[in-house]
Chains A and B, each alone.
Chain A
Amino acid sequence: MSDTSISAPPATAKGGRGFWRNPALLLLPATLFLAVIYVLPLIDLGRVSMTGEPWWAHFARVFSVPLYWESLIRTMKIALTVACLCAVFGYPTALLIQRSRGIMQVLIATTVILPYFIAILIRTYAWMVLLGRNGPINKFAIWLGIYDQPLALLFNRGTVLLGMTAVLMPLMVLTIYSSLSRLDPSLTRAALASGAGPLAVFWRVLLPLTLPGIGAGFLLVFVSALGFFITPTLLGGPADQMFAMHITQQADSITGEGFLQALAVVLLLITLGVVAVAGRMMGFEFIWGGGKLSDTTEAPTKTRNRAAGQGRRSLGMMVADLIGWPLLRLLGRMPAAVGAWTVRGIGVLIICTLILPILVVIVISFSEASYLTFPPPGWSLKWYEKFFSDSNWMTAFWNSLGIAALSATIAVTLGASAAMGIVRSEIRYKSALMLLLVSPMIVPPVVLGLSLYSLFLQMGLVGTYFGLAAAHAIGGIPIVVVIVAASLQAVDRKLEQGAAVHGASPLTVFRTVTLPAIAPGLAAAVFFAFLHSFDELVLSLFLSSPRMKTLPLMLWADINYQLNPVLAVVSTLEVLLVVGGIILARPVLSRSRGGH
């Protein structure tokens, strides 16, 4: 054998391996999965919505029947109000977390993070308990002598706003907190040393610099609220119908095909429109709350953003100069403690709002009474017994567990490899791909459920384990991608290069350096993907069959039928599950915002 014949084959083999070694390939499975089960059904949804005669007939009906467009306006109003409430009350809470130290900070942060991961259904149920006829609030008010007959606090616009604000508050607080914690702390000190009082520091330094964070939080809350279904259904009255509720109601009573899809398309387009405008203004990174990805195509966007930012900044400066300064000097005469106490007051109020309902539900699960009343007349474990001995509940529990495990497996396998691909490949359109991967976070679940329903009917997946697991994985993948990508970006590339220079093969580098570094992130991703599926209700409502019950479906049916303490038992168990998970995932949560 000559030298050339020896060296030639490795050269070609290397060329072939080079292709297979391209990290961009890791993006393929997740992209294909989402294309088939997520993008195509949405496209089909659009197609069906245009089957009217003429093609816009169904849309015309959406905008001409007062029931629908009035509901659309109402939905926008509610979402806007909720987003404003969250911003106004969330900012002081985020400030409180940032300013407290040590064990206090951990405690306050936990009271915000804990509800963030508890199912919306359960948190809404907690509010029903709290505000119920025999609930603690009515009892307390009567005891105080404010009124003497229990009031009907539930089923009005006020409760919808309260419930939705409480449910979405953690999202806002965590988003603002992450932008606060990224600030250089010496900026505050520099402002103080320059003679700025605490109020001026807030107005001139903190607020302008965290404005992007507030904007991101505001939009995330607004977009989530637009597609809200569970909370307004349970807490609202007939006059508080939100747009997403029409879609499920229409799905129950089979009306003409096409109109339903048109409703969903309208909701989807409004959501995407808001996100697109926001993304143009401040970068799409707000969706996943992460830093910028290194991407060649992004450079021009960035400079343009900055130029636009400058224009806006100087305008903001002018407004601040005109009204801000005189006002500040006036308010600056107040004692410095006023601001600190306002922050503390609002923060404590919000923390109570977040944690009290959960505590009340836990207490009620140990109640002796067979109806919901607080405080419980006596204590017993009979509702736990009832839960664990009722075959319906247990079947649902095991179904949920199995589906969640399968769904987490799918989401983590596809999502983690996609995260590797995103962070480590050098491809163009990285941002666009990332956007695709995380976009299920912003698509209203009702729209997703409807679009999947017809696909699942055709493929015979309705009411199957795999079908539900796959559907839940659509929302699980973004969670995994965000968490794992964040952990990967935190890995020092120098460590990997160091291992490679000293003779480790790429696989060995991954096994000995990369994997240990991202292991906590992966563990968190598994847990949150699991939790996402375990808590999922809306997709299951569309895609399950009467014989296939999951825990949230059982809860949903029971909440609508009768409020009993078994629901409190399920809620308590879920809280335990989340607390356990948060303790396991704490090292990761402190680094990234986590998934939502």
Chain B
Amino acid sequence: MAETLDWRGSRQDAASRASAATGRDVIGSGISMRNVVKKYGAFVAADRINLDIEPGEFITLLGPSGSGKTTLLNLLAGFQTIDGGEILIDGKSIAHVPTHRRGFGMVFQSYALFPNMTVAQNVAFPLRMAGVDRATSDRRVAETLEMMRLSEHARKTPSEMSGGQQQRVAIARAIVMRPKVVLMDEPLSALDRRLRESIQIEIRELHQTIGSTILFVTHDQSEALTMSDRIAVMDKGHIIQMARPVEIYRHPQSRFVASFVGESNLIEAEILENRGGKMRLRSRAGYVFEAESRNGAASGAATVLVRPERIALHDQPSANTVAATVTSALFMGETLRIEAVMEGGETLLIRCPDTAARNLPEIGTRIHVSWNAQDCWVLA
């Protein structure tokens, strides 16, 4: 207990340093998971998960529902007991530390604001629990509310506020202690798109300011791409790939990641020739094309990813183009979304910017498409 208090005390110093400093001051903890297993009866929610998170990193756990991302968060928070393996915070196992002594901050999808307390009291809650004296507590609450632009709402109760405001209060409550780790469980999924985007940016900036390690759970791939330092893509209790957003988007390591993150054309092909990454492939439909990719075997079958926005549209055929017939064309605002069937029967999804030069093609129109060899990514 005494140890915990000392530790909290030192954390407050770090916090005041962080708020005083103009630059980024990392106070977050490193998190490591070693062979973490969690089962619900026969269902394995987390299957020997290994994960290393650097201090101060913003990590997103991305995956479809039931992939185990919320389970990992709950294990980290201590809401559920671990069935195997261990979780280390700054190198120390937290197996025997109960939730309320872990000193994390947490934001919930349902906000989970205490309806019997005002905004200020909600935000002060973690401070009071840590035994911070009244004056310090008041000052810190005021600072945090100021930071979240909530100062004028301090005396309101949660039920008097909009969803977006409530979630900002929940975030304020989670960061008021300047915790080493902040857990966010799909915090934005109850909000409408515009609000979601503005709070995404806010959370991102907040992360820069306070320097905590943030673990963010979402099933929204665009949210993950915008916010994270690194993304861990999860499926069926496994981490499939963990990398920077650009890497995840451009160079996915599996079909699952390629199709879950962003839109994709996955072309089944055979490698005819591979000279140090410069390949010639033949699609199942018989179309031969070139690709430059550091991934991929010397020969044999391969799946080639071409992102829809990398495909160019031409009115006239030329040497590098393939003919296709438009089967669907939608105006999406900033882009046109076109589906076309290539000769040989493969369907391509194409995204091209909406420009004055191009009108939405009519269904049945014959078009010519092309892509650069560098825009292909060969999946192993």
Which residues of A are interface residues toward B (Cβ below 8 A)? 184, 186-187, 189-198, 200-201, 204-205, 208-209, 310, 313, 317, 325, 329, 333, 336
Contacts and interface: CB of A to CB of B under 8 A. Distances in A.
Contact of A197 (B100, B113, B121): B100
A325 B77 contact: no
B116 A186 contact: no
B89 to A, nearest CB: 14
Given A186-B110, A189-B106, A310-B157, A195 B126 contact: yes
Contact of A196 (B77, B100, B113, B183): B100
For A191, A194, A195, the residue with the greatest tally of chain B CB atoms inside 10 Å of its CB is A194
A519 B142 CA distance: 55
A194 B77 contact: no
A245 to B, nearest CB: 42
Contacts of A200: 100, 129
A195 B108 contact: no
A193 B114 contact: no
Chain A interface helix/strand/loop/mixed:
helix
Nearest to A194: B126
B125 interface: yes
B140 to A, nearest CB: 14
A205 B125 CA distance: 11
A192 B130 contact: no
B149 interface: no
A195 B112 contact: no
A187 B115 CA distance: 9
Nearest to B121: A317
Contact of A193 (B77, B110, B128, B131): B77
A189 B173 CA distance: 13
Contact of A192 (B1, B79, B109): B79
B108 A192 contact: no
B108 A194 contact: no
Interface residues of B, number: 35
A195 B131 CA distance: 10
A190 B123 CA distance: 12
B340 interface: no
Contacts of A209: 114-116
Contacts, number: 78
Given A194-B125, A313-B116, A336 B106 contact: no
A188 to B, nearest CB: 9
B79 A195 contact: no
Contact of A191 (B101, B115, B125, B174): B125
Contact of B128 (A192, A325, A336): A325
A193 B183 contact: yes
B211 interface: no
Interface string B123-138: 0011011110000000
A227 B113 CA distance: 41
Given A196-B129, A200-B129, A310-B157, A190 B98 contact: no
A186 B98 contact: no
Contact of A204 (B98, B101, B125): B125
Scoring B78, B98, B102, B128 by chain A CB atoms within 10 A of each residue's CB, the highest score goes to B128
11 contacts: A184-B110, A189-B79, A190-B113, A190-B114, A192-B99, A193-B77, A194-B126, A201-B100, A205-B116, A208-B116, A333-B1
Given A184-B112, A186-B112, A189-B79, A194 B129 contact: yes
Contact of A205 (B1, B102, B114, B126): B114
Contacts of B170: 190
A206 to B, nearest CB: 10
Contacts of B109: 186
A184 B126 CA distance: 19
Contacts of A310: 157
B177 interface: yes
A196 B112 CA distance: 14
Contacts of B79: 189, 192
A187 B130 contact: no
A329 B125 contact: no
A322 to B, nearest CB: 12
Contacts of A198: 100
Given A186-B108, A187-B112, A329 B99 contact: no
